């Protein structure tokens, strides 16, 4: 009998277990970014709703909250909080948000099971690697089918990460992935009116991984061919079984592709980031009041999420919808000089100057755009005097070509903590914890306030 994709991944986990140190720097960065985002979002309506709606208490930490939850609840709340402002990590080639899924899942299971820091590191490394690689098997197809890749692939990846952290034998690992395939979900209809459901996708995927692992450990059986099968995950969510499986399997457990995970400088959609940079540079050269029209070259694969319907994107109905509006985010780059958390309040997105400029922004499809392998930016401005100026950027700042340093990421963490109401002392205490978190057992209980 031919080995399935899940079985071959299980073999790779054993290789990864021997050499997780290659991912440690990336894992520490993910831990820092996730924690800061959890704190930044802890007082928001959507996080309060997520916490209030979860029934079961336990001994696991929802970062920044006094109430301790069961492992699934902690994973759900932390995943939802991490992704809630769309300020979390991404992967060039996906795009998927691995940190918001994998870190909450593994931290929760680490607290519940009292596992070692090394096992937690293995779990985060394996989960993030599976998620990033899985996103390249059938690029763009999951989005085109109307699903959120982070939600769909996150359930499988969280299952892999949790199973690896718990040192599952091969059969249990395979069953965990098989079970998680029936827990995967996440449609992208939130785009229509800026509804909150995208925010919960990573949290739901994270808790799904834990529940799948618990079922497998108890003896529940999942399909061995959950990924590539005739009725498997990719058939269901990408409408194909003809993916490039080499992207997932080649070098798995030996080469850490997820070590190149990108960290966002702005609190908005991934592909928008370089456009904001272009707008900021142009703002230093021209007067906003002289702008007649703004035209941007865009990848066809991003249009249905970030550009259309254009009239709606030019006047986003709320702050969350504005995060997925290229016109609004570009206008923020010109007028505010940033697209940080303060750019996405309900009051801000209704400001007349931002709306007026967003109304002048449109797009043209660039058939040669390298998305999703690269996230590029282009902004061309026509001025009242008839002249045209433009800026281009061939990469995402914070990504593989221009990564944020550890110091940059720690500063982002500090700003997010201050935004969420943590004191400087609390923030520095967590940074100290992050430096040695994988050297001993994980205990997040000091960070429940």
C-alpha pair distances (Å), 83 with each of 31, 138, 325, 335: 13, 23, 17, 26
- Beta partners for 296? 363
324 neighbors 380 (Cβ within 8 angstroms): no
Rounded Cα–Cα distance for residues 79 and 105 (Å): 8
Length of the chain: 449
184 neighbors 205 (Cβ within 8 angstroms): yes
Q: Token pair for residue 241?
A: 């079984």
Rounded Cα–Cα distance for residues 372 and 388 (Å): 28
Rounded Cα–Cα distance for residues 427 and 396 (Å): 27
- 3-class DSSP state of 192: helix
Residue 156: left if φ>0, alpha if ψ -120 to 50, beta else—which one?
A: alpha
Homologous superfamily of 270-393: 2-methylcitrate dehydratase PrpD (3.30.1330.120)
Burial class (CB in 10 A: 0-12, 13-18, 19+), 140: middle
Q: What's the fold here for domain 5-264+407-447?
A: 2-methylcitrate dehydratase PrpD (1.10.4100)
What is the per-residue pLDDT across 285-314, written as a single tens digit (0 to 9) for each?
999 999 999 999 999 999 999 999 999 999
User: Other C-beta atoms within 10 Å of 384: how many?
Assistant: 10
Q: What is the DSSP letter of 317?
A: S
Residue 136: alpha-carbon gap to chain centroid: 15
Rounded to two decimals, what is the model's pTM?
0.97
The answer for residues whose C-beta is within 8 angstroms of residue 331's C-beta and 6 or more apart is 279, 354, 355, 357, 358, 361
Instruction: Report the pLDDT value the prediction gives residue 439, as an integer from 0 to 100.
Output: 96
Rounded Cα–Cα distance for residues 149 and 136 (Å): 11
Q: Of 305, 296, 86, 294, nearest to 192 (Cα)?
A: 305
Exposure string (b/e) for 76-113, b if CB count within 10 Å is 16 or more?
bbbbbbbbbbbbbbbbbbbbbbbbbbbbbbbbbbbbbb
Rounded Cα–Cα distance for residues 161 and 245 (Å): 19
75 neighbors 108 (Cβ within 8 angstroms): yes
95 neighbors 153 (Cβ within 8 angstroms): no
Whether the domain at 5-264+407-447 and the domain at 270-393 fall into the same CATH topology:
no
pLDDT in tens, the chain (449 residues): 899 999 999 999 999 998 778 899 999 999 999 999 999 999 999 999 999 999 999 999 999 999 999 999 999 999 999 999 999 999 998 899 999 999 999 999 999 999 999 999 999 999 999 999 999 999 999 999 999 999 999 999 999 999 999 999 999 999 999 999 999 999 999 999 999 999 999 999 999 999 999 999 999 999 999 999 999 999 999 999 999 999 999 999 999 999 999 999 999 999 999 999 999 999 999 999 999 999 999 999 999 999 999 999 999 999 999 999 999 999 999 999 999 999 999 999 999 999 999 999 999 999 999 999 999 999 999 999 999 999 999 999 999 999 999 999 999 999 999 999 999 999 999 999 999 999 999 999 999 99
φ, ψ of residue 263 in degrees (nearest 5)? -115, 130
Burial class (CB in 10 A: 0-12, 13-18, 19+), 264: buried
The continuous run of DSSP H or E covering 378 comes out as strand 377-383
Between helix 71-83 and helix 24-41 the angle, nearest 10°, is 80
Instruction: Report the pLDDT value the prediction gives residue 1, as an integer from 0 to 100.
Output: 80
Q: What is the DSSP letter of 235?
A: H
- The sign of the CA dihedral 71, 75, 76, 81 is positive
Q: Of 136, 178, 184, nearest to 5 (Cα)?
A: 178
- 3-class DSSP state of 90: strand
The domain spans of the chain are 5-264+407-447, 270-393
Question: CA gyration radius for the chain?
Answer: 21
What is the per-residue pLDDT across 3-39, written as a single tens digit (0 to 9) for each?
999 999 999 999 999 877 889 999 999 999 999 999 9
32 neighbors 410 (Cβ within 8 angstroms): yes
Rounded Cα–Cα distance for residues 212 and 222 (Å): 9
Between helix 5-18 and helix 170-180 the angle, nearest 10°, is 120
- Beta partners for 69? 57
Residue 177: alpha-carbon gap to chain centroid: 20
- 3-class DSSP state of 398: strand
Instruction: Report the pLDDT value the prediction gives residue 93, as an integer from 0 to 100.
Output: 87
Rounded Cα–Cα distance for residues 379 and 142 (Å): 28
Strands (E) located in 27-122: 57-61, 68-69
- Beta partners for 381? 294, 389
Instruction: Report the pLDDT value the prediction gives residue 21, as an integer from 0 to 100.
Output: 81
361-365 vs 388-393, strand pairing mode: unpaired
CA-CA-CA-CA dihedral for 76, 78, 79, 82, to nearest 10: 160
């Amino acid at each position: 009998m031919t080995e399935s994709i899940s079985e071959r991944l299980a073999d790779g986990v054993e290789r990864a277990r021997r050499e997780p140190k290659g991912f440690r720097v990336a894992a520490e960065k993910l831990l820092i970014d996730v924690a800061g985002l959890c704190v930044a979002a802890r007082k928001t309506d959507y996080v309060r709703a997520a916490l209030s709606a979860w029934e079961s208490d336990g001994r696991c930490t929802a970062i920044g909250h006094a109430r301790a939850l069961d492992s699934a609840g902690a994973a759900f709340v932390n995943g939802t909080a991490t992704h809630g402002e769309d300020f979390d990590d991404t992967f060039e080639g996906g795009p998927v948000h691995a940190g918001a899924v994998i870190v909450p899942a593994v931290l929760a299971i680490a607290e519940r099971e009292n596992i070692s820091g090394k096992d937690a590191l293995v779990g985060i490394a394996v989960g993030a690697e599976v998620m990033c690689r899985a996103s390249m098997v059938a690029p763009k197809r999951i989005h085109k089918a109307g699903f959120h890749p982070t939600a769909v692939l996150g359930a499988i990846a969280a299952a892999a990460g949790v199973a690896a952290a718990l040192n599952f034998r091969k059969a249990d690992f395979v069953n965990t992935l098989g079970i998680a395939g029936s827990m995967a979900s996440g449609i992208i209809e939130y785009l229509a009116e800026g509804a909150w459901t995208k925010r919960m996708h990573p949290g739901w995927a994270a808790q799904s991984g834990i529940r799948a692992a618990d079922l497998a450990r108890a003896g529940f059986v999942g399909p061995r061919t959950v990924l590539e099968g005739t009725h498997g995950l990719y058939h269901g969510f990408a409408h194909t079984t003809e993916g490039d499986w080499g992207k997932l399997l080649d070098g798995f457990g030996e080469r850490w592709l997820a070590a190149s995970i990108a960290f966002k400088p702005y609190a908005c959609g991934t592909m928008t980031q370089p456009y904001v940079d272009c707008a900021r540079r142009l703002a230093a050269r021209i007067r906003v009041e002289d702008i007649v029209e703004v035209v941007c070259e865009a990848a066809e694969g991003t249009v249905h999420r970030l550009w259309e319907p254009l009239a709606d994107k030019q006047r986003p109905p709320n702050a969350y919808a504005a995060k997925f509006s290229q016109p609004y985010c570009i206008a923020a780059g010109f007028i505010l000089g940033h697209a940080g958390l303060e750019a996405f309040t309900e009051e801000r997105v209704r400001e007349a100057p931002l709306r007026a400029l967003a109304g002048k922004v449109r797009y043209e499809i660039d058939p040669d755009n390298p998305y999703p392998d690269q996230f590029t930016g282009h902004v061309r401005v026509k001025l009242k005097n008839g002249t045209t100026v433009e800026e281009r950027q061939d990469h995402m700042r914070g990504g593989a070509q221009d990564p944020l340093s550890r110091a940059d990421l720690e500063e982002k963490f500090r700003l997010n903590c201050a935004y969420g109401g943590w004191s400087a002392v609390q923030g520095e205490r967590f940074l100290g914890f992050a430096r040695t978190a994988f050297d001993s057992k994980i205990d997040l209980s000091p960070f429940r306030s």
